[in-house]
Structure 1
Amino acid sequence: MTWAAAAQATLHCLTGCAIGEILGMVLGTAFGLSNGATLVLAVLLAFVFGYALTMRGVLKAGLDVRTAVKVALAADTVSIVVMEIIDNTVMMTVPGAMDAGLADIVFWLALAGALALAFVLTVPVNKWMIGKGRGHAVVHAYHQH
């Protein structure tokens, strides 16, 4: 499997993660949740949106809901876990990022940098997994039918 395919799979996964992560951070910040509660919300939503994007594609390919859930779990869990560890670690370590408001550039720069770093560090993980027939290789098998 090529690096381009791994980058494409990672970008797909990152899209769902980023939607959930950003929504969770925005909601947590807007509602004045604690940093811990905001991180939990962001991680939960990252998983929901990450799995939902994969399920959308495989449901279009004709899979039933139960099988689509299994495929999404198999395809995305490791990738989402790696991304969430990386981007939340960055958010927690950038001074002021978690305490910044939505109008604060520190919040948005830290979040953008965290997601970019998560992408870069997750591509090799996805390349390895696809090479072993796991991760997004599972999804691609259904798209080809």
Structure 2
Amino acid sequence: MEHEHPTHDTTTGIGTHTHTPGKVTWSTAAQATLHCLTGCAIGEILGMVIGTALAWGNLPTTILAIVLAFVFGYSLTLRSVLKAGVGFKTAFRVALAADTLSIAVMELIDNGVIVLWPSAMDAQLSDALFWGSLAASLAIAFVVTTPVNRWMIGRGKGHAVVHAYH
């Protein structure tokens, strides 16, 4: 059985619930990953669409997509933690602690798939390849990131930090 022990991290000021090592369900990990994927996908798609529509090169388009994925990923968590009545500074720290590794893994996989997919980086908005490769890359990122989130939640990290505020 999993037990929660409230703690307060004096370096970040974040109150958390740490978990003794225990079984974390795949469903819990998938829900955390889906939450992260939602923000990442919004930013990733928006960045790719903007960069492609403006005929930017691959590097600036990819950088914009990654930056927006982090912004939207953090924003969704920030919004839910702020809604719980937490101050902005603490909520921001919670979002960073909860999402950084998950978003980083997701973006590494997502952009890696796009870069390695033949002709995907040259596809235009009107091409099925643009949308198909983007959808496939996000699906693969979800599959790869879910075990990462399961591992983190099982150690009281990642989205386990956010659950203390729900």
Q: Which residue of 2 aligns with 1:11?
A: 34
Give the aligned CA root-mean-square deviation in angstroms: 0.4
Count of aligned residue pairs for this structure pair: 143
Q: Which residue of 1 aligns with 2:76?
A: 53
Q: Give the 3-state SS of the residue equivalent to 1:142 in structure 2.
A: coil
Q: Give the 3-state SS of the residue equivalent to 1:98 in structure 2.
A: helix
**After TM superposition, what 4+ stretches of structure 1 lie above 4 angstroms from structure 2?**
none
1:24 to 47, 59, 63: 47
Deviation, structure 1 residue 98: 1.0
Q: Which residue of 2 aligns with 1:95?
A: 118
Q: Which residue of 2 aligns with 1:123?
A: 146
Percent identical pairs in the alignment equals: 68
Q: Which runs of 5+ in 2 are unaligned?
A: 1-23
* Distance across 1 between alignment mates of 2:53 and 2:104: 25
2:100 to 77, 89, 96: 77
Letter in 2 for 1:10: T
Letter in 2 for 1:45: L
Q: Which residue of 2 aligns with 1:139?
A: 162
Letter in 2 for 1:134: K
* Distance across 2 between alignment mates of 1:27 and 1:138: 33
Q: Which has the higher strand share?
A: 2
Tell me if 1:66 matches 2:89.
Answer: yes
Q: Which has the higher helix share?
A: 1
* Distance across 2 between alignment mates of 1:92 and 1:117: 14
Pair member with larger Rg: 2
Cα deviation digits, residues 69-109 of structure 1 (max 9, x gap): 00000000000000000000011011111111000000110
Letter in 2 for 1:9: A
Deviation, structure 1 residue 26: 0.2
Letter in 2 for 1:129: M
Q: Which runs of 5+ in 1 are unaligned?
A: none
2:109 to 86, 89, 109: 86
Question: What is the TM-score of this pair, normalised by structure 2?
Answer: 0.86
Letter in 2 for 1:68: A
